[in-house]
């Protein structure tokens, strides 16, 4: 599968709300995730840590709406723009816009980098 095919499938799964399926199908076991803010989960290493971080996020946020655009592909990298209407537990409802960059090697996503 080339990067464009992988990116198109990944983006379609994300748009359909199937993030877990996208992760299990396309993430490398050695995936590195990098958030744009400091903190305990600002970087994860390995698929298991990344899945634990994602599960924590979903357990601690109520999602009211989600929309995505992309993928935008260049070489071994693709971007997806995500707009999320969300309320963090104990917080106020907010609208988030983030760009997520994905680097691909050996037909798997090896790096996921968040920009917001």
Average pLDDT over residues 9-37: 93
Average pLDDT over residues 72-99: 97
Cα–Cα distances in angstroms (integers) from residue 7 to residues 21, 75, 77, 82, 110, in the given order: 14, 11, 9, 15, 13
**Token duo for residue 39:** 């903190």
What confidence tier does 65 reach under pLDDT thresholds 50, 70, 90? Answer: very high
> What integer pLDDT is reported at residue 114 of this predicted model?
96
Computed over every residue of the chain, the mean pLDDT equals 95
- Asked if residue 85 has pLDDT above 90, the reply is yes
Helix, strand, or coil (residue 89): coil
> What integer pLDDT is reported at residue 1 of this predicted model?
81
Domain architecture of the chain: domains with CATH: 3-57+68-79+102-115 (3.10.450.50)
> What integer pLDDT is reported at residue 19 of this predicted model?
86
pTM of this prediction?
0.93
What pLDDT, in 10s, does the model give residues 26-48?
Answer: 999 999 999 998 888 899 999 99
**Which one, of 11, 13, 14, 48, lies nearest residue 28 by Cα?**
48
> What integer pLDDT is reported at residue 41 of this predicted model?
82
């Amino acid at each position: 599968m080339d990067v464009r095919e992988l990116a198109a499938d990944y983006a379609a799964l994300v748009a359909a709300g199937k993030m877990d399926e996208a992760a299990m199908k396309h993430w490398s076991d050695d995936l590195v995730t990098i958030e744009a803010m400091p903190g305990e989960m600002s970087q994860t290493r390995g698929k298991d840590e990344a899945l634990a971080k994602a599960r924590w996020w979903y357990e601690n946020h109520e999602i009211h709406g989600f929309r995505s655009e992309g993928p935008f592909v260049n070489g071994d990298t693709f971007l997806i723009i995500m707009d999320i209407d969300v309320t963090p537990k104990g917080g106020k409802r907010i609208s988030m816009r983030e760009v997520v960059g994905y680097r691909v090697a050996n037909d798997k996503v090896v790096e996921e980098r968040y920009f917001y």
